[in-house]
Amino acid sequence: MLEIIVFIISLTIAAPLYIIVINSFKNQAESADLSISLPQQWNMIENYKKVFIDGDFLMAFWNTSVITVFAVVLTMIASCSAAYIIQRRQSKATKIIFYLLLAGMLLPGSIITTYQLMDALHLVRTYTGVIL
């Protein structure tokens, strides 16, 4: 029974991935249909050439990689340093900092400010608000 549940859950990942890969081989008109059928004419080389050369894919990949690496390294340094101090020192200030950090993980401040901004612009519960 567990295998059946896992198989169904894996289909939710595999099906969109299949559609993305198959549509990358189609021409523009066929891929606009978003069907799961195989392409009538395989345009694999032209499509990927357009993405890599015209779309400047490698530069986008480089930018994403640089941002991700620096963000992860800085986050690890800051969080490991804070965790070490919070764990080793037993004072009222470290308990307050611990609970503030815990509250920030449970309900990030960006969610609150984003919701307030959307509410001020009357975009809560609208399609535009969800899209933005």
If one counts every other C-beta atom within 10 angstroms of the C-beta of residue 42, the result is 12
**Mean pLDDT across the chain, nearest whole number?**
86
Asked if residue 127 has pLDDT above 90, the reply is no
- Nearest CA-CA partner of 35 in 51, 15, 49: 15
Share above pLDDT 70 across residues of the chain, in percent, rounded to a whole number? 99
What pLDDT sits at residue 36?
80
pLDDT of residue 84: 93
Query: Which of these, 49, 69, 46, lies nearest to 58 by C-alpha position?
Result: 49
Tens digit of each residue's pLDDT (9 = 90 or more) over 19-72: 888 888 888 778 777 778 888 888 788 888 888 888 888 888 889 899 988 989
More confident residue, 17 or 30: 17
Q: Sign (positive/negative) of CA torsion 98, 94, 83, 77? A: positive
pLDDT for position 41: 82
Confidence of residue 5 (pLDDT cuts 50, 70, 90): very high
pLDDT at 112 over 80: no
Q: What is the pTM of this model?
A: 0.53
